[in-house]
Amino acid sequence: MKKTLFAALLSMSIAGLSASAMAAEPIDPIQPVKVDNPALVELGKMLFFEPRLSRSGFISCNSCHNLATGGVDNLKTSIGDRWAQGPINSPTVLNSYGQIAQFWDGRAKTLEEQAAGPIANPLEMASTHEMAVKVIGSIPGYAKYFKAAFGDAKVDMTRITDAMAAFEKTLVTPNSRFDQWLKGDKNAITADELKGYNLFKASGCTMCHNGAQVGGSSFQKMGMVRPYKTTNTAEGVKAVTGRDQDRMTFKVPILRNVELTYPYFHDGEAATLEQAVEIMGDVQLGKRYTKEETAQIVAFLKTLTGDQPKVEYPVLPPSVAATPAFNPWEPAKK
């Protein structure tokens, strides 16, 4: 009995020490998500892959936030309607829930707000909310999914974005090697990767890149120490507030799965992690890393790649005669 009690107390003590050690780190493990309404998530998944939400009937959310490639399109800036070049690099949709805001300039406070934006953006999906509701509402095969998710088959924009956000909230990537290390497995990362993490901390990177998402919790000026030179015209938070002091201030990107989400920065100018680390060290921290230090930080960053979401590609219900026809080649209205 005494041995059993001692073993239990010892186990609790070890767990407490482990939790204390974890709490001392500026980065927390990503936790698996709990799904309360699987029917809502299933509907959201269908709508995430639904190209008929776009004017052309060709572009879906997955076009720019490809779940096969880290939740991004791996382009400097995304391709939109009529092959228009987007103005900014596409942030990852993975682990996007829980950030301070959505989009680089923070103009959407929630995933629901974010989901509504691209549908009506003329440079992205180029439809309208009214047309999106009309299209989805015209497809009989969607009725059972809306009824399962909401209790009836009514289609409106709030339901569309609520469902899409519910699906996106499930796109977490737990169990990275670094998470395993945080939870007590000291063999989960190598000596060089640990050196990179310690350098990452000592340099001050964790002042902005912290928490479970390793970022996404604040806005910072790009070029704190030295001006960041770019030809990209995005002004950051200034586009939302109108204040000149907010120019070149952007939401700090999350670093989970960062080895998959190249190219980097709002303008996509850093093609590799090595370039991104060197530039950030220079313009944000005033540091010039050696090649060895850069390699160590990059090695650490690669430990942040977690288990990718296992998403079965949905089979979407077919259009019917009442569904508006799509013409991707329709000339733009002057």
CA distance 243 to 319: 46
Same structural domain for residues 10 and 60?
no
Regions of the chain short of the pLDDT cut 70: 1-23
Same structural domain for residues 139 and 188?
no
Same structural domain for residues 57 and 20?
no
177: which 2 tokens?
């090697």
Same structural domain for residues 11 and 86?
no
DSSP readout, 3-59? Answer: HHHHHHHHHHHHHHHHHHHHHHSS--PPPPPPPS-HHHHHHHHHHHT-GGGSSSS--
Report yes or no on 326 lying in a domain: no
Same structural domain for residues 211 and 128?
no
pLDDT of residue 20: 36
Contacts of 142-150 with CB under 8 Å at 24 or more apart are: 142/43, 142/46, 142/317, 145/39, 145/42, 145/43, 145/46, 146/43, 148/39, 148/42, 148/43, 149/37, 149/39, 149/40, 149/42, 149/43, 150/40
Give the Cα-Cα-Cα angle 222, 225, 230 (nearest 5 degrees): 40
3: which 2 tokens?
């041995």
Per residue, the 3-state secondary structure of 236-252, as one string, reads ECHHHHCCHHHCCEEEC
Instruction: Please report, for residues 95, 171, 172, the alpha-carbon distance to residue 310 in angstroms, rounded to integers and kept in the order given.
Output: 14, 9, 10
Report yes or no on 70 lying in a domain: yes
Report yes or no on 118 lying in a domain: yes
pLDDT of residue 332: 87
Q: Note if 293 is an active site residue.
A: no
CATH number at residue 78: 1.10.760.10
Domain boundary residue, one of 113, 133, 168: 168
pLDDT of residue 23: 53
DSSP readout, 184-236? Answer: T-TTSS-HHHHHHHHHHHHTTGGGTS-TTTTS-S-EEES-SSSPPP------B
Q: How many domains does the chain have?
A: 2
Same structural domain for residues 158 and 210?
no
Burial of 105 (C-beta count, 10 Å sphere; 0-12/13-18/19+) = buried
pLDDT of residue 237: 98
Same structural domain for residues 21 and 77?
no
pLDDT in tens, 52-94: 999 999 999 999 999 999 999 999 999 999 999 999 999 999 9
Domain boundary residue, one of 121, 136, 168: 168
CA distance 110 to 103: 10
Radius of gyration of the chain (CA): 22
Report yes or no on 307 lying in a domain: no
CA distance 209 to 199: 13
Report yes or no on 248 lying in a domain: yes
Same structural domain for residues 15 and 45?
no
Please identify which residue in the block is written with the tokens 């709490």. 23
* Residues 209, 25 contacting (CB under 8 angstroms): no
The catalytic position among 124, 168, 193, 269 is 124
Domain boundary residue, one of 140, 168, 196: 168
pLDDT of residue 334: 75
* Residues 236, 246 contacting (CB under 8 angstroms): yes
Render the burial of 61-92: b for 16+ CB within 10 Å, e for the rest. Answer: bbbbbbbeebbbbeebbbbbbeeeebbbbbbb
Report yes or no on 331 lying in a domain: no
Same structural domain for residues 181 and 144?
no
Report yes or no on 225 lying in a domain: yes
* Residues 71, 171 contacting (CB under 8 angstroms): yes
Same structural domain for residues 157 and 202?
no
Same structural domain for residues 294 and 204?
yes
* Residues 29, 210 contacting (CB under 8 angstroms): no
Same structural domain for residues 222 and 162?
no
pLDDT of residue 285: 97
pTM of the full structure: 0.92
Domain with 160, as residue range(s), is 38-168
CA distance 142 to 110: 25
What is the three-class DSSP state of 130?
A: helix
Report yes or no on 228 lying in a domain: yes
